[in-house]
Amino acid sequence: MDERDFVQEIKDIIDSKTLTEDEKREKLLQYHESDIADLIDDMDEAERQEIFKILGNELAGDVLLHTEDIGDVLEDLNPEKAADIIEQMDADDAIDVLEELDEDTKEEIVSLMDKEAVEDIKDIIKYDDDMIGSEMTNNYITISEDDSIKGAMKKVVSQADENDNVTNIYVVDESKHLLGMVELRDLIIARATDTITSIMKTNYPSFKATTLISDCINDLKEYKLDTYPIVDDNNVLLGVITQDDVTEIADAEMSEDYAKLAGLTSDEEQDESVFISVKKRIPWLLILLVLGLVQAFTMSGFEHVVATLPIIVFFQTLVLDMAGNSGTQSLAVTIRLVSTNELTKKHVIIAILKEIRVGLINGFILGILSFTFVLLYLWLTKNGVQTGAESFTWSAAIKGASIVGVALIVAMTVSSLIGTIMPLFFYKINVDPAVASGPFITTINDITALLIYYGLAAALFEIVF
């Protein structure tokens, strides 16, 4: 059954004249929240008010999180209804929803929410956006190490009505200090004579709320657990991070890195204003402008070489492009290495030596091919290499082809080295390696390749500046 069938079925339930609201709600519970949200996205204000009335606050909150434009949907509801729905959400989801609203609407809705829900939100928003505590939820279940197996099960059942993250159950003392974790499966199959401490895992990964997301994201992805406990400096349990949260965090980190690799200061949204987009793009463009000017000035310094050997200008793009490609490949490999490993001095040395060898071998292969093709071109066209040369000579042609071939070998090797060293350097000074963006590394490699290419040409033909 495809998505359109689901949506039509849901619409038929909503429009039914024979079903009561309770019966409609019961039937809607059989569908995924995303399918209901697809229908809501296409409704007008009156229809949205009607369906949210049928859904009830808890189900409405789950559906709201799947709508395309949460802000527009909430604005179609009266503030009291919106507050009632948001109260039923996990605190982290409530924060995400409230951030979609303008300040006046947000303040009005928050003022109508109950005190406990507002306090839960405040417990999370006090952490900076780059801290893992800003992503935690209060949706978790706790038991005591002194509980019997039967008593612990009763606690789980009683808390499961409000908290649906039941796979991992956290063991805390009276002051909420985290002591360990019990898997629901182990609790279910435990004998009545067992103790909580006998089935509890004490060496369970936890993270301090003030830990930077960038510092713990690799651990979060590596463990692949359903939930991770978040604690304060005194090991008091504050909340948990779910696997869904980890996926969202990883996606956000990837988007941010992609933006930086594209030469943006941050990820760009499709519906944001032109001014905001310009603000995000202009800083790196200004840096690249300066580097572009350096490249132009570098080129102007070789005007005597160009005047003497005008034909080699035809092959300049080849050398620059291949050097840039080689550097970008090394950059991508190194950023991936940095993002997945704790780098040691040994890792750094191995990475640098490997990329130098790769760049050298690739440069040698492409250099030989380029030498052959350029020499063949000069022979077929019978072009003289130097200004004033009336006819083709093998000695001049070999020199001209050698400029391209040798420059490719050297430029690709050096570019691979630069593409490796730069992200490692940024990593060592605690700056995001993605700052060594594609446009940035390409421009640096262009300048380097120009110096190699025209410097080699000047040396081979003994051109005096």
**Tokens 């709600």 found at:** 25
One-letter-per-residue 3-state SS of the chain: CCHHHHHHHHHHHHHCCCCCHHHHHHHHCCCCHHHHHHHHHCCCHHHHHHHHHHHCHHHHHHHHCCCCCHHHHHHCCCHHHHHHHHHCCCHHHHHHHHCCCCHHHHHHHHHHCCHHHHHHHHHHHCCCCCEHHHHCECCCEEECCCCEHHHHHHHHHHHHCCCCCCCEEEEECCCCEEEEEEEHHHHHHCCCCCEHHHHCECCCCCEECCCEHHHHHHHHHHHCCCEEEEECCCCEEEEEEEHHHHHHHHHHHHHHHHHHHCCCCCCCCCCCCHHHHHHHHHHHHHHHHHHHHHHHHHHHCCHHHHHHCHHHHHHHHHHHHHHHHHHHHHHHHHHHHHHHCCCCHHHHHHHHHHHHHHHHHHHHHHHHHHHHHHHHHHHHHCCCCCCCCCCCCHHHHHHHHHHHHHHHHHHHHHHHHHHHHHHHHHHHCCCCHHHCCHHHHHHHHHHHHHHHHHHHHHHHCCCCC
Which mean pLDDT values do the consecutive 10-residue runs of the chain (465 residues) have? 66 86 86 85 82 84 84 83 87 85 86 88 88 90 94 92 87 94 93 92 92 85 86 94 83 60 52 70 78 85 83 88 88 76 74 92 94 90 72 85 93 92 80 64 86 89 64
The pLDDT of residue 389: 65
Q: Does domain 141-215+225-242 have CATH number 3.30.360.10?
A: no
**Tokens 């130098």 found at:** 356
Report the C-alpha gap between 403 and 399 in whole angstroms: 6
**CATH number of the structural domain 274-460:** 1.10.357.20
The pLDDT of residue 222: 80
Q: Domain ranges in the chain? A: 3-126, 141-215+225-242, 274-460
The pLDDT of residue 438: 63
CA distances from 356 to 25, 97, 365, 426 (A): 64, 49, 14, 19
Report the C-alpha gap between 85 and 369 in whole angstroms: 67
The pLDDT of residue 331: 83
Predicted TM-score (pTM) above 0.85: no
Q: Which CATH class is domain 3-126?
A: mainly alpha
The pLDDT of residue 269: 54
The pLDDT of residue 464: 53
